């Protein structure tokens, strides 16, 4: 399609380009196709290229050309992945009335005297459980529940959720417990996620608690960052209840803070 600009009306109009031939001096003629040119402006938009003006070697052109393209529709809508939600559905929860996924479970843990069923194949990504199922730590009886001591059931369920899905929303009030569990069961990425959650929510009110817990569990990176936070805000932090509790629990930490100032 070619639109020559009228000299009097100063408006564009479409012309017939079904004929053959080139553009004459001053621009394309009716019944002709757009000819060769250079020094023009062109832009691609949608399914067309738009060309304006230019020079054909003998005259400046004052037309506006649109080249339409027939684009084959070779795409299709792809639904979003449901992998994470599907794997999360395999978690054996208390409200699993049908018991479908419990029937597929092949290992039972006993956490706070409550059975928790799980699937070995999904727990194998954790070195601790992989050694439990395959290595020297293999349980002698496959039918007896495996007792998981020193971990609360809600924290254990969060650990399982992460191992199943690699995705978890970490509550701040459980971040430290989950951090300890991730360290104990050798899940470094979950440990890092918990550390980031605590660092992102660290305040003058809770930093002493974080520092004390990080010291107890040898979390060096978290410990160092909490210590620096305390040093930066010592006058305020030292007056908090958490700081007093830390001092009662381990006075050596207070001495370390004072020496570091």
**pLDDT, tens digit, 9 for 90 and up, residues 88-98:** 988 876 655 54
Residue 51, strand partner residues: 42, 65
Domain edge (last residue) among 187, 219, 240: 187
Residue 250 lies in a domain: yes
Residue 113 and residue 164 in one domain: yes
d(CA 219, CA 85): 32
Same structural domain, 212 and 138? no
Q: Are residues 260 and 231 in contact, defined by beta-carbon separation less than 8 angstroms? A: yes
Which one, of 134, 96, 17, lies nearest residue 64 by Cα? Answer: 17
Within a domain: residue 210? Answer: yes
Identify whether residues 20 and 106 lie together within a single domain. Answer: no
DSSP state of 15: B
For the chain, give the percent of residues with pLDDT over 70: 80
The answer to the question of residue 142 being in a domain is: yes
Q: Of 163, 187, 211, which residue constitutes the final position of a domain? A: 187
Contact 207/253 with Cβ under 8 angstroms?
Answer: no
Asked whether residue 182 falls in the same domain as residue 86, the answer is: yes
Note whether residue 35 is domain-resident. yes
Distance between CA atoms of 65 and 2, rounded to whole angstroms? Answer: 5
pLDDT given for residue 143 in this prediction: 66
Which of 143, 140, 139, 177 has the alpha carbon at shortest distance from 158? 177
- Is 28 among the domain residues? yes
| Shared-domain flag, residues 118 and 33 | no
Query: How confident is residue 30, by pLDDT bands cut at 50, 70 and 90?
Result: very low
> What does the alpha-carbon distance between residue 224 and residue 165 come to, in Å, rounded to a whole number?
30
Residue 192 counted as domain residue:
no
Same domain (yes/no): 103, 170: yes
The encoded tokens of residue 257 equal 């803070």
Q: 45, 68, 91: which is the final residue of a domain?
A: 68
64 shares its domain with 85: no
The pair phi, psi for residue 188, each rounded to 5°, is -60, -35
Looking at the 3D structure of the chain, how many domains does it have? Answer: 3
Q: Is residue 131 part of a domain?
A: yes
| 233 & 138 share domain | no
What residues contact 226, with CB distance under 8 A and at least 6 apart? 202, 207, 210, 211, 214
Does 159 lie in the same domain as 228?
no
What pLDDT is stored for residue 103 in this prediction? 77
Cβ atoms 177, 152 nearer than 8 A: yes
For 204, which DSSP code? T
pLDDT of residue 3: 55
> CA torsion 171→173→177→178, rounded to 10°?
10
pLDDT computed for residue 4 by the predictor:
53
Residue 217 belongs to domain spanning:
202-261
Question: What angle, 0 to 180 degrees and rounded to 10, lies between the N-to-C axes of helices 207-216 and 251-260?
Answer: 110
Same domain, 229 and 256: yes
CATH code of 97's domain: 3.30.710.10
| 175 and 209 both lie in a single domain | no
Beta carbons within 10 angstroms of residue 78's beta carbon? 6
31-79 per-position pLDDT tens digit: 456 778 888 898 888 778 888 889 888 888 888 888 877 767 778 899 9
Q: What is the CATH number of the domain that holds 255?
A: 1.25.40.420
Q: What is the pLDDT of residue 233?
A: 96
As beta bridge partners, residue 108 has 117
Does 183 share its domain with 250? no
What is the CB neighbour count within 10 angstroms for residue 196?
Answer: 13
pLDDT band at 138 (very low <50, low <70, confident <90, very high): low
Domain membership of residue 244 (yes or no) is yes
pLDDT of residue 94: 60
pLDDT above 70 (res 212): yes
Q: Is this structure's pTM higher than 0.85?
A: no
């Amino acid at each position: 399609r070619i639109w020559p600009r009228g000299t009097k009306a100063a408006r564009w109009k479409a012309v017939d380009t079904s004929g053959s031939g080139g553009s004459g001096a001053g621009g394309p003629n009716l019944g002709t196709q757009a000819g060769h040119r250079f020094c023009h402006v062109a832009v691609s938009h949608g399914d067309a290229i738009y060309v304006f003006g230019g020079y054909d070697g003998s005259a400046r052109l004052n037309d506006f050309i649109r080249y339409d393209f027939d684009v084959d529709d070779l795409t299709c809508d792809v639904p979003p992945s449901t992998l994470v939600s599907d794997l999360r559905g395999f978690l054996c929860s208390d409200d699993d009335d049908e018991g479908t996924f419990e029937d597929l479970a092949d290992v039972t843990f006993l956490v706070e005297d409550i059975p928790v069923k799980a699937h070995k194949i999904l727990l194998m990504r954790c070195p601790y459980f992989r050694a439990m199922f395959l290595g020297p730590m293999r349980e002698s009886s496959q039918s007896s529940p495996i007792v998981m001591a020193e971990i609360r059931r809600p924290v254990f369920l969060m650990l399982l959720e992460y191992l199943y899905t690699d995705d978890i929303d970490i509550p701040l009030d459980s971040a430290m417990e989950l951090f300890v569990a991730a360290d104990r069961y050798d899940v470094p990425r979950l440990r890092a996620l918990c550390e980031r959650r605590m660092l992102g929510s660290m305040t003058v009110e809770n930093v002493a608690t974080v520092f004390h817990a990080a010291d107890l569990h040898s979390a060096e990176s978290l410990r160092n960052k909490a210590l620096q936070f305390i040093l930066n805000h010592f006058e305020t932090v030292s007056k908090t209840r958490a700081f007093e509790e830390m001092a009662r629990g381990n006075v050596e930490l207070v001495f370390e803070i004072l020496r570091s100032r």
